[in-house]
Amino acid sequence: MAGLLNVGMLLTLFGYVAYQLKAIPLQIWDKIKEKLSYSVYVEHTDKLYLYLERYLQHKHSRLYREVEATIGDKFDRFGSKNRFGEDDKPIKERRIKVSYWQLDGIFLIWYKRRLLFISKGRKELTHAQEATNLYLNSYTIRGLKSKKVIMNLMEEVVEFNKQFEQEVPPKIKVNELDYFRVSGDVTGKDMDHVFFDNKDTLIADIDLFISRREWYHERGIPYKRGYLFAGSPGNGKTTLTMAIAKRYGRDVYFISLNDVTSDRELRSLFNDIEVGNCIVVFEDIDSCFTKRKGEKKVSFSGILNCLDGAFYKDGMITIMTTNKPEQLDPALIREGRIDFKLEMSNPPGELVKNYVQKFYADNSLSLNIENYKKNLSMVAVQEICIKNLNDPKEAMKWIEAATQTEKLLEETVSNDK
């Protein structure tokens, strides 16, 4: 019996030694990779993924063995030209082109005397709400002693893709769950057609901010700027926001805090914002946080962390709009979070006159502004002009009549007393 136990122990020992010896090559390879290899990971949430996808499709598609087929460029939403290869022709004359893209797997390429392993994979997202978000696709590029070579490859990928880029209008993006979806292009009025007090001061402030990126970085100051647009409804707070986005070519990210269910979801939204080219908008912020009280699932500290804490985006312009600035917590709009406060109440007579002259392209139009009362919102003035599209003098009478009505009302109340 003892002999059998000794044999069993000996076999166990041999098995353990054999297992350890088998693991030695893997351990050696792991050490080699740790010391000599260099890897780059690119996920499809970054525009570089598009660039790499297109570069490989043009340069190395012959190496593909498993592919997916699409009509044209499947990344048209980023603003590529020649989607079907013949965009300069009428639609009926275009030849629809089928493109083939790597599905997944690994292939090898030689680049600057280095052998690079390029793999494309996908990870299933079990909580995805839509089929288009079911997988997280990514590329991995590896090579031995290839850090500089891979960095050169990335630079070549970016340079190659410049030929496909065209100027596209900035996008409007709205939050949906924990990501943003594109709802359209930034359109609307140019800044020249938006009228409000302190306009030149606001434009100068934004211009200065945009021009001083390096100045902020050199001094270790967070490169961001916050604006509060306050005033009664109908005076162009949203219109001004869109005009700023149009003037500076920035995407607008509208965040409805009513639809955000947690601080984690808010942080995920901020992670989805593009660095350096963003305007983040919180409309009617007073309806979400009133003196730090509210029934929302996002905490007060959660939004502050995204505005200027660990999760803010470099180059971010934040715009808050409110009808009731007096209800906002001072901590939300203190300096450093809100750097410029703009009052957008009903316009004075001089601004109304300027608007009407611009609307009708007639600088000779005059308005009796001596006793003008600020009882018309800018949108009300606009509606009067639209209703009298071909009769500017009639529009001026309507505007003056609205003031006279207010004046007569005041006189009546005074006489009653």
- Select the more confidently predicted residue: 417 or 268: 268
Q: Is residue 12 part of a domain?
A: no
If phi > 0 it is left, if psi is from -120 to 50 it is alpha, else beta; for residue 249 that is: left
- Are 239 and 218 within one domain? yes
In the predicted model, is pLDDT for residue 131 greater than 80? Answer: no
- Sign of the Cα torsion 209, 214, 219, 223 reads positive
The half-sphere exposure of 27 on its side-chain side, counting CA atoms within 13 A, is 6
Which amino acid is located at 152 in the chain?
N
pLDDT for the residue numbered 326: 84
- Are 159 and 205 within one domain? no
Q: What is the tens place of the pLDDT at every residue in 321-336?
A: 988 888 888 888 888 8
pLDDT for the residue numbered 241: 93
Say how many Å lie between the first and final Cα of the chain, rounded: 121
- Are 178 and 323 within one domain? yes
CB 226 within 8 A of CB 202: no
Q: Is residue 3 part of a domain?
A: no
CB 265 within 8 A of CB 178: yes
- Are 151 and 260 within one domain? no
* 82 — pLDDT class (breaks 50, 70, 90): very low
Question: Quick one: CA torsion of 5, 6, 12, 18, rounded to 10 degrees?
Answer: -160
pLDDT for the residue numbered 97: 74
- Are 383 and 402 within one domain? yes
pLDDT for the residue numbered 401: 80
Q: What are phi and psi of 259, to 5 degrees?
A: -100, 0
In the predicted model, is pLDDT for residue 75 greater than 60? Answer: no
Mean pLDDT along residues 36-61: 86
Q: Is residue 27 part of a domain?
A: no
- Are 91 and 204 within one domain? no
- The residue from 102, 134, 164 where one domain ends is 164
- The residue from 113, 131, 164 where one domain ends is 164
Average pLDDT, the chain: 78
- Alpha-carbon span 75 to 168, nearest angstrom: 14
Number of Cβ within 10 Å of residue 241's Cβ equals 23
Mean pLDDT along residues 86-96: 52
The half-sphere exposure of 43 on its side-chain side, counting CA atoms within 13 A, is 6
- Select the more confidently predicted residue: 257 or 135: 257
Q: Which H helix or E strand runs over 319?
A: strand 316-322
Q: Which H helix or E strand runs over 29?
A: helix 2-36
Q: In whole angstroms, what separates CA 169 from the centre of its chain?
A: 13
Which amino acid is located at 27 in the chain?
Q
Residue 230, SS3 per DSSP? strand
In the predicted model, is pLDDT for residue 79 greater than 80? Answer: no
Which amino acid is located at 141 in the chain?
I
- Are 273 and 380 within one domain? no
Instruction: Find residue 119's DSSP bridge partners.
Output: 106, 140
Residue % of the chain over a pLDDT of 90:
15
- The residue from 292, 315, 343 where one domain ends is 343
CB 107 within 8 A of CB 63: yes
Q: Is residue 140 part of a domain?
A: yes
- Are 96 and 202 within one domain? no
Residue 368 belongs to what domain range?
349-416
DSSP string, 191-204: GGG---TTHHHHHH
- Are 157 and 183 within one domain? no
Specify the residue for token string 């700023």.
244
> Residue 334 belongs to a domain with what CATH number?
3.40.50.300
- Are 310 and 335 within one domain? yes
Mean pLDDT along residues 367-384: 80
CB 205 within 8 A of CB 116: no
Number of domains the chain is built from = 3
* 95 — pLDDT class (breaks 50, 70, 90): low
In the predicted model, is pLDDT for residue 192 greater than 60? Answer: yes
Specify the residue for token string 């190496």.
63
Mean pLDDT along residues 131-157: 83
- Are 61 and 149 within one domain? yes
Which amino acid is located at 360 in the chain?
Y
Least confident span in 11-20, 158-167, 256-265, 365-374: 11-20
* 170 — pLDDT class (breaks 50, 70, 90): confident
Instruction: Find residue 99's DSSP bridge partners.
Output: 70
Residue 219, SS3 per DSSP? coil
Q: What are phi and psi of 18, to 5 degrees?
A: -60, -40
Number of Cβ within 10 Å of residue 221's Cβ equals 11
Instruction: Find residue 342's DSSP bridge partners.
Output: 229
* 207 — pLDDT class (breaks 50, 70, 90): very high
- Alpha-carbon span 292 to 303, nearest angstrom: 11
